[in-house]
Structure 1
Amino acid sequence: MVSFIRDRGMEADFRDYCGGWPCRVASLDGDGGWQPIETAPRDGTHFLATAIVRNVKTDARWWETYVIWADDETGEIHPDCDHGWSSIDDYSHWMPLPAPPDAALKGEGE
């Protein structure tokens, strides 16, 4: 998706406007652990993936982020985590899942 945006000269649109709110697409270019989707694991490892969505009627844009994983045989999105995006390449960036809270390991909050 990043190449789609860049090839059409739409970077400024996505850097300045997402769904009516200012957004920091620049942070996807290295800050915060986000990496290009082309580098996402294809071995069944779960990870966060994000995509820019645009409403064609209102031109509103926003990020949708999901936990997904690739089928270790095909390298494509596993059927159990299809959120309307049928290909990993429909997403623009990915990042590893954060570690679970320490409280859960200590039995707190039960």
Structure 2
Amino acid sequence: MSEHIAALYSALFYTESHPGTFDDGEIQALRAAIALMRGQSWQPIETAPKDGTTIIIAYSLGGQHVETAWWDGEGWAYNWHEYDGTSYVKDVTHWQPLPAPPKDSANE
């Protein structure tokens, strides 16, 4: 398995050193694959993508909470259904990629 992880890291390094080679979704998929293969689900927030990709975040606010959010250049943003607009989450500590959507069994 370590050979596969090394190959994914090589691909990720290539994408970062050759901008435009892969789109943001493909880069996020590489990061997620590396995390899953290494057995890591939660990663330090410092390693999270800051390209607008929606991710799962963990934050502390009188306890541990999770939310889907994205970096919008100002902070970790999310849509609060009781508020008309974007809100920001503070004290974010960890993140993980969203899981793949379920397969459509009707198309299999």
TM-score, L = length of structure 2 = 0.48
Name which structure has the greater RCO, CA cutoff 8 Å, separation 6+: 1
TM-score, L = length of structure 1 = 0.47
